[in-house]
A = this chain, B = another copy of it.
């Protein structure tokens, strides 16, 4: 039942309670009013209150105890301290740094491993039965069984759906602005090839997704890593100074729910950033692959929204939300459309039409939005669980990013913990994650790590998290013993 403003009644109640929890009015362990009380107080049905409580439970904010009612299980103070804005050095690095983790995709495939490493949704969270149905339907209907080449730019139906969805952040793209790619990494690859030449310099956040480092390195680009805040993202002043003194060919930023640092660039900064682009005529590759996975009410905006001169190349995909293996992503290349189309044709000709049509079916029937709502709730719930776990199990001085979306968390441990060694130890317990060193070409973030919480959270995951914490504590103790001995 919706009220006048179009919000469901139960959501109104749930939002009020959530606000009180976040403001510290309701605290960890507090008992919530009984369903009967709220039913009278709000003048709504019992089932509406129940629904509100179920919703809060699904977000891991409250929990029911048999015969006792509902209790707050979320500690607002559990929002641990964030790491400081990074301050990456700019030393010459060996090009081989990228190879450090080149076997990453192979190693983490072992069976039975608790996988905090991959920035991917676990299959259990995906609507696989519905996707299969959509595929079967597509195969029956598609012309010539999909054996033909599609157009270079890809399915017009799917592109229109993608364009329509930009309304969620105020975008007004049309299908003509969008090109389908083989996942987001392929969109980034085409974008880099369109706007840079070997020897050019690009600017990225620090830490930065290792795939970007590997790709840029392979293309012979020089990489400047800029200071980045775990809350607001890239330091715009640092960027301004860089643009003033260096010739930069491209900037790449994950604006929303950054991988790995979890930041979300405020609208004001997005606007400032786009102005800088225009001033220096430098294109921005905006990797917005996590943008749809917000925990709050609204989808965050993009730099593309502020882009009037076509300098923003907006990239994303369905890999973090629907089906990584289908390899369907897209790019809205602004003024670089012609170049992107040529590059796609030269390097791979076309994208297969079956997956495009299957995803189109999924979108046009509203199944995607339904799935996203569920997925966001799960990720939000997991974010609370992982934060609680880190507070409980990890060393006290641990700093963490505070994700407002996506399913990645960035952790800074005591400097005594070398996370590459921690990684080796964790591997022995069949636990995998990404050491911080993967996310930079400089010698830094050796005490950091990235955890993914895109899984079905269960006892095994909880124990694995606990084990990482124990191993970290163990390493600190060892280091302190050595210090004592050597004094």
- Residue positions of A touching B, CB distance < 8 A: 99, 102, 105-106, 109, 120, 123, 126, 128-129, 131-132, 135-136, 139-140, 143-152, 182-183, 185-186, 189, 193, 197-198, 211, 214-215, 218, 220, 322-327, 342-343, 345-355
In the complex, are the beta carbons of B197 and A149 less than 8 A apart?
Answer: no
In the complex, are the beta carbons of B345 and A105 less than 8 A apart?
Answer: yes
Chain B residue numbers with a CB within 8 Å of A355 are 352, 354
Chain B residue numbers with a CB within 8 Å of A126 are 144-145, 147
In the complex, are the beta carbons of A149 and B348 less than 8 A apart?
Answer: no
In the complex, are the beta carbons of B139 and A346 less than 8 A apart?
Answer: no
A129 and B123 CA atoms in complex are apart in Å by 30
Q: Rank and list the top 8 A-B pairs by shortest CB-CB distance, nearest first.
A: A123-B144, A128-B145, A147-B323, A189-B347, A215-B346, A214-B346, A186-B348, A132-B145
Among A148, A183, A189, A322, find the residue whose CB has the most chain B CB atoms closer than 10 A. Answer: A148
In the complex, are the beta carbons of B132 and A139 less than 8 A apart?
Answer: yes
Closest residue of B by beta carbon distance from A188: B347
Among A120, A144, A214, A342, find the residue whose CB has the most chain B CB atoms closer than 10 A. Answer: A144
Partner of A342, one of B218, B220, B327, B343: B218
A151 and B108 CA atoms in complex are apart in Å by 11
A152 and B108 CA atoms in complex are apart in Å by 13
For the complex, would chain A's binding face be called helix, strand, loop or mixed by DSSP majority? helix
Chain B residue numbers with a CB within 8 Å of A215 are 346-347
A185 and B129 CA atoms in complex are apart in Å by 33
In the complex, are the beta carbons of B106 and A151 less than 8 A apart?
Answer: yes
A280 and B150 CA atoms in complex are apart in Å by 41
A183 and B351 CA atoms in complex are apart in Å by 10
Interchain Cβ contacts under 8 Å between A and B, 6 examples: A123-B147, A147-B325, A149-B324, A189-B348, A218-B347, A352-B355
In the complex, are the beta carbons of B149 and A139 less than 8 A apart?
Answer: no
Partner of A352, one of B148, B189, B326, B349: B326
Tell whether A182 pairs with B348 under 8 Å between CB atoms, given A123-B148, A144-B126, A325-B353. yes
Chain B residue numbers with a CB within 8 Å of A348 are 182-183, 185-186, 189, 327, 348
Chain B residue numbers with a CB within 8 Å of A151 are 105-106, 109
Chain B residue numbers with a CB within 8 Å of A152 are 105-106
Partner of A326, one of B147, B218, B323, B342: B147
A131 and B146 CA atoms in complex are apart in Å by 10
State how many angstroms separate the Cβ of A356 from the closest Cβ of chain B.
10
Chain B residue numbers with a CB within 8 Å of A350 are 105, 325, 327
State how many angstroms separate the Cβ of A457 from the closest Cβ of chain B.
19
Among A146, A189, A211, find the residue whose CB has the most chain B CB atoms closer than 10 A. Answer: A146
Chain B residue numbers with a CB within 8 Å of A214 are 342, 345-346
A185 and B152 CA atoms in complex are apart in Å by 14
In the complex, are the beta carbons of A346 and B105 less than 8 A apart?
Answer: no
Closest residue of B by beta carbon distance from A186: B348
In the complex, are the beta carbons of A186 and B145 less than 8 A apart?
Answer: no
Chain B residue numbers with a CB within 8 Å of A146 are 323, 325-326
A135 and B197 CA atoms in complex are apart in Å by 41
Please give 5 more A-B residue pairs, beta carbons under 8 A apart, in addition to A126-B144, A128-B147, A148-B324: A105-B345, A126-B145, A146-B326, A325-B354, A354-B355
State how many angstroms separate the Cβ of A106 from the closest Cβ of chain B.
7
Chain B residue numbers with a CB within 8 Å of A120 are 149
Partner of A218, one of B218, B346, B353, B354: B346
In the complex, are the beta carbons of B327 and A185 less than 8 A apart?
Answer: no
Chain B residue numbers with a CB within 8 Å of A147 are 123, 126, 128, 131, 322-326
In the complex, are the beta carbons of A343 and B123 less than 8 A apart?
Answer: no
In the complex, are the beta carbons of B145 and A323 less than 8 A apart?
Answer: yes
Chain B residue numbers with a CB within 8 Å of A148 are 123, 324-325
Chain B residue numbers with a CB within 8 Å of A351 are 327
